[in-house]
């Protein structure tokens, strides 16, 4: 029975059930049971194209199970479980159903063996996820949701256009590796890129994720972008342009993240930066690199969810996620603090934490294919990640100047979810073999070589030490940046200067492009309104004479065309 039912359907069928169940434990339990069942099913599925249906004369592959799709489906199930556990206390059926539908659509898309199925689920993730933003039910959240939805649906429409052109050109809708070059593949590429938050197509991410509900952000952070990463890995592995796109992606969010005050937005920027690593891996396209991408996506979902959960718990208890309004929370939220630090350590790729064993795969792949400049950029970006996610997030939230806030510890379900995520982060970091076994290709790689560990520790340990010393002696630096500046290690000393040096022009360039884009759009809408709005010429009332004139004109033209031919 379970084998013939596509995994996505488990979620999609359970969503309407929610409404029937009484609010409370039973309903929340269903939200946990579904991902577990789905994960068990995915785990036990044989590889191959399992479910096919006929649709308009096309054969749709609903379940293409191979190693690449399996690992993404598994991590999506885990993310759905953690997210739902974290949201155990939520009573809002809209959010709960949206979470299930969203996870189901994402998993369905991952298993899609053809582009039409992919499109269906692609739009499914867009439509279901926006409710997690709207669930805040504020005016601002509504408008943010609208902007988010427009981008997401737009991506789907572009994808559909690409699929149609592709079908007309080749007669095939199979979702296989593509070569950039034709209109069809470019359209599909751009559609993927929009969801993957490519530079200049990224604004929706930082706009929308911090605007969702406390629990919604955790769920949002897991699926959409990683679905795009999966699609790129499936469709455009080894496309060289992705290396450069990915490199830019790892860089530019850093500058924004450093100056951002809203911690959830900082995390959104760092999410974008982490996606860059995966995109670089896809661009390199070797077995090692693709393994790295898949593994990094796996680890990334866990630690990013963990970080969003911990900041979310703070927001839940204090009502704010602004760095400037927080601080000193470690006194009353010690567990949340510990989990946050574990997440921060993972994202910063400390040895023995998950980020270390996965990110190094991508770095090694870049070095192995002789992309040294890219390798350098990635290294620089790693340091940047450590700066804004590894130090800034826990520091501003839990330490820094004492804000005087004494909130209660997070509720038990949040703690449990964070604890599980932390456990997984550490487990993957300490014993990566099971994760490596799941990867799409054979892994012959050991991340715990002496050079690796020492390089990484050099990069991180001095700053961590400096940070600890400052904490112990009670010298709270007024600005976080000074922690880095005080580190008397050359590489670290160089970094702030580099940031300052690059941030100016790069930031200005991005702001400029962003503003130009915004101004152009605004101007366009104003012009459209003048032409088509209620006062516009097109929609105004026409006197009868004008209508008759049009008839005469059209008749004249028609006669002319008929006579001339």
Partner 1 sequence: MATEMVPHTALTLVDQLPAFQILASFLAAPLIVVLGSRRLAWPIAFIASAMSLIVALMLLSQVMDGTVISYRMGGWAPPLGIEYRVDAANAFVLVLVSAISTLILPYARTSFGKEIPLRHHTAFYAAYLLCFSGLLGVTITGDAFNVFVFLEVSSLSTYVLIAMGAERDKRALTAAYDYLIMGTIGATFFVIGIGFLYMATGTLNMADIADRIVEQGGNRTIRAGFAFIVVGIGLKVAMYPLHRWLPNAYTYAPSAVTAFVAATSTKVAVYVLLRFIFSVFQPNFLFEFNTLEYIILPFALIAMFAASFVAIFQSDFKMMLAFSSIAQIGYILLGIAFLTETGVTAAVVHLFNHGITKAALFMAVGAYVFSANGSYYDTIQGLGRRMPLTSAAVVLAGFSLIGVPGTAGFVSKWVLVQAALEKGWWPVALLIVASSLLAVIYVWRVIEVLYLRATPQGCQVREAPASMLVPMWIAVLACIYFGLNTDLTIGAAETAARGLMSGSAGMR
**Does position 153 bind partner 1 by CB under 8 A?**
yes
**Phi, psi at 383, each rounded to 5°:** -65, -40
Please select the residue that binds partner 1; options are 9, 142, 244, 491, rule is CB under 8 A: 142
Please, which residues bridge with residue 174 across strands? 114
Q: What is the rounded CA–CA span in Å between residue 417 and residue 215?
A: 11
Q: What is the rounded CA–CA span in Å between residue 464 and residue 484?
A: 10
Rg, C-alpha atoms of the chain: 25
Residue nearer to partner 1 on the CB measure, 161 or 498: 161
Please select the residue that binds partner 1; options are 4, 20, 44, 168, rule is CB under 8 A: 168
Residue nearer to partner 1 on the CB measure, 48 or 534: 534
Does residue 463 contact residue 483 with C-beta atoms inside 8 Å?
yes
Stretch that binds partner 1, among 74-82, 242-250, 369-377, 537-545 (CB under 8 A): 537-545
Cβ burial 492-506 (10 Å sphere, 16+ → b, else e): beebbeebeeebeeb
Query: In the numeric block, which tokens belong to residue 291?
Result: 């393994």
Q: What is the rounded CA–CA span in Å between residue 212 and residue 76?
A: 19
**Does position 524 bind partner 1 by CB under 8 A?**
no
Stretch that binds partner 1, among 229-237, 307-315, 402-410, 548-556 (CB under 8 A): 548-556
Query: In the numeric block, which tokens belong to residue 534?
Result: 């209620």
Does residue 130 contact residue 156 with C-beta atoms inside 8 Å?
no
Min dist. Cβ of residue 50 to partner 1 (A): 22
Min dist. Cβ of residue 528 to partner 1 (A): 6
**Does position 554 bind partner 1 by CB under 8 A?**
yes
Stretch that binds partner 1, among 233-241, 371-379, 498-506, 542-550 (CB under 8 A): 542-550
Residue nearer to partner 1 on the CB measure, 120 or 308: 120
**Does position 520 bind partner 1 by CB under 8 A?**
no
SS3 (DSSP) at 49: strand
Q: What is the rounded CA–CA span in Å between residue 335 and residue 343?
A: 12
Residue nearer to partner 1 on the CB measure, 88 or 119: 119
Stretch that binds partner 1, among 240-248, 279-287, 389-397, 533-541 (CB under 8 A): 533-541
Please select the residue that binds partner 1; options are 76, 86, 102, 120, rule is CB under 8 A: 120
Min dist. Cβ of residue 557 to partner 1 (A): 6
Stretch that binds partner 1, among 38-46, 156-164, 424-432, 444-452 (CB under 8 A): 156-164
Stretch that binds partner 1, among 39-47, 488-496, 514-522, 538-546 (CB under 8 A): 538-546
Q: What is the rounded CA–CA span in Å between residue 123 and residue 109?
A: 10
161: CB partners within 8 A, 6+ apart:
187
Min dist. Cβ of residue 565 to partner 1 (A): 4
Does residue 28 contact residue 84 with C-beta atoms inside 8 Å?
yes
Residue nearer to partner 1 on the CB measure, 187 or 439: 187
**Does position 547 bind partner 1 by CB under 8 A?**
yes
Q: What is the rounded CA–CA span in Å between residue 252 and residue 248?
A: 6
Fill in the per-residue mask, 181 to 210: x = in contact with partner 1 (CB under 8 A), - = not in contact. --x---------------------------
Instruction: Look up residue 45 and give its DSSP letter.
Output: P
**Does position 115 bind partner 1 by CB under 8 A?**
no
C-alpha angle 131-32-107 in degrees, rounded to nearest 5: 60
Query: In the numeric block, which tokens belong to residue 294?
Result: 């898949």
Residue nearer to partner 1 on the CB measure, 167 or 491: 167
Residue nearer to partner 1 on the CB measure, 164 or 416: 164
Q: State the number of CA atoms in the 13 A half-sphere of 116 facing the CB.
A: 17
Min dist. Cβ of residue 143 to partner 1 (A): 10
Residue nearer to partner 1 on the CB measure, 509 or 531: 531
Residue nearer to partner 1 on the CB measure, 97 or 417: 97
Q: What is the rounded CA–CA span in Å between residue 49 and residue 158?
A: 26
**Does position 518 bind partner 1 by CB under 8 A?**
no
Stretch that binds partner 1, among 101-109, 377-385, 499-507, 549-557 (CB under 8 A): 549-557
Stretch that binds partner 1, among 154-162, 198-206, 287-295, 438-446 (CB under 8 A): 154-162
Residue nearer to partner 1 on the CB measure, 458 or 535: 535
Alpha carbon separation from 170 to 40, 184, 448 (Å, rounded): 37, 10, 46
Residue nearer to partner 1 on the CB measure, 331 or 527: 527
**Does position 20 bind partner 1 by CB under 8 A?**
no
C-alpha angle 296-228-217 in degrees, rounded to nearest 5: 80
Min dist. Cβ of residue 157 to partner 1 (A): 6
Query: In the numeric block, which tokens belong to residue 436?
Result: 């490596």
Query: In the numeric block, which tokens belong to residue 459?
Result: 């990069």
**Does position 564 bind partner 1 by CB under 8 A?**
yes
Q: What is the rounded CA–CA span in Å between residue 336 and residue 181?
A: 49
Min dist. Cβ of residue 517 to partner 1 (A): 18
Does residue 108 contact residue 119 with C-beta atoms inside 8 Å?
no
Query: In the numeric block, which tokens belong to residue 533?
Result: 């709005």
**Does position 373 bind partner 1 by CB under 8 A?**
no
Does residue 253 contact residue 273 with C-beta atoms inside 8 Å?
yes
Residue nearer to partner 1 on the CB measure, 79 or 141: 141
**Does position 154 bind partner 1 by CB under 8 A?**
yes
3-state secondary structure 420-481: HHHHHHHHHHHCCHHHHHHCCCCCCCCCCCHHHHHHHHHHHHHHHHHHHHHHHHCCCCCCCH
Number of shown-chain residues binding partner 1 (CB under 8 A): 44
**Does position 134 bind partner 1 by CB under 8 A?**
yes
Largest CA distance in the chain: 95
Provide the binding-site residues for partner 1, judged by CB under 8 A. 56, 119-120, 123, 134, 142, 146, 153-154, 157, 160-161, 164-165, 167-168, 183, 528-529, 531-534, 536, 538-539, 541-542, 544, 546-548, 550-551, 554-555, 557-559, 561-565
């Amino acid at each position: 029975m379970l084998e013939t039912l596509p995994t996505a359907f488990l979620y999609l069928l359970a969503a309407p059930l929610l409404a029937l169940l009484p609010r409370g434990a039973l309903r929340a339990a269903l939200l946990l049971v579904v991902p577990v069942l789905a994960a068990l099913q995915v785990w036990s599925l044989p590889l191959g194209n399992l479910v096919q249906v006929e649709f308009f004369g096309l054969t749709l592959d609903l379940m293409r199970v191979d190693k690449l799709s399996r690992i993404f489906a598994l991590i999506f199930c885990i993310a759905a479980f953690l997210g739902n556990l974290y949201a155990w206390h939520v009573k809002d059926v809209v959010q709960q159903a949206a979470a299930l539908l969203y996870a189901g659509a994402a998993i369905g898309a991952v298993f899609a063996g053809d582009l039409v199925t992919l499109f269906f689920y692609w739009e499914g993730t867009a439509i279901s996820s926006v409710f997690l933003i709207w669930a805040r039910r504020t005016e601002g959240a509504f408008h943010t949701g609208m902007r988010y939805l427009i981008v997401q649906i737009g991506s789907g429409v572009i994808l559909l256009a690409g699929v149609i052109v592709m079908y007309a050109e080749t007669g095939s809708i199979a979702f296989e590796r593509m070569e950039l070059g034709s209109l069809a593949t470019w359209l599909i590429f751009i559609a993927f890129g929009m969801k993957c938050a490519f530079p200049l197509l990224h604004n929706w991410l930082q706009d929308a994720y911090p605007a969702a509900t406390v629990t919604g952000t955790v769920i949002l952070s897991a699926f959409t972008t990683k679905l795009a990463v999966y699609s790129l890995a499936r469709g455009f592995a080894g496309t060289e342009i992705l290396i450069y796109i990915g490199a830019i992606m790892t860089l530019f969010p850093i500058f924004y993240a450093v100056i951002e005050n809203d911690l959830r937005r900082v995390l959104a920027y760092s999410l974008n930066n982490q996606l860059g690593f995966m995109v670089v891996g896809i661009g390199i396209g070797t077995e090692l690199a693709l393994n790295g991408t898949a593994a990094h996506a796996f680890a990334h979902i866990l630690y990013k969810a963990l970080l969003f959960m911990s900041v979310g718990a703070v927001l839940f208890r204090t009502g704010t996620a602004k760095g400037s309004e927080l601080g000193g929370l470690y006194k009353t939220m010690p567990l949340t603090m510990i989990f946050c630090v574990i997440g921060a350590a993972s994202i910063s790729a400390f040895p023995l934490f998950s980020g270390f064993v996965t990110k190094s795969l991508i770095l090694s792949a870049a070095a192995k294919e002789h992309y040294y400049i890219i390798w350098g950029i990635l290294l620089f970006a790693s340091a940047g990640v450590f700066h804004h996610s590894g130090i800034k997030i826990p520091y501003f939230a839990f330490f820094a100047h004492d804000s005087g806030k004494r909130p209660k510890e997070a509720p038990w379900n949040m703690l449990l979810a964070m604890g599980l995520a932390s456990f997984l982060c550490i487990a993957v970091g300490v014993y990566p073999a099971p994760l490596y076994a799941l990867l799409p290709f054979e892994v012959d790689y050991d991340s715990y070589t002496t050079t690796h560990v020492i390089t990484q520790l050099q990069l991180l340990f001095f700053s961590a030490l400096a940070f600890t010393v400052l904490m112990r002696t009670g010298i709270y630096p007024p600005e976080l940046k000074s922690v880095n500046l005080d580190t008397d290690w050359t590489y670290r000393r160089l970094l702030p200067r580099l940031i300052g040096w690059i941030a100016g022009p790069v930031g200005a360039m991005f702001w400029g492009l962003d503003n130009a884009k915004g101004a152009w759009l605004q101007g366009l809408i104003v012009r459209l309104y003048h032409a088509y709005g209620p006062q516009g010429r097109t929609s105004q009332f026409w006197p009868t004479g004008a209508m008759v004139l049009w008839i005469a004109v059209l008749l004249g033209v028609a006669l002319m065309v008929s006579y001339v031919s």
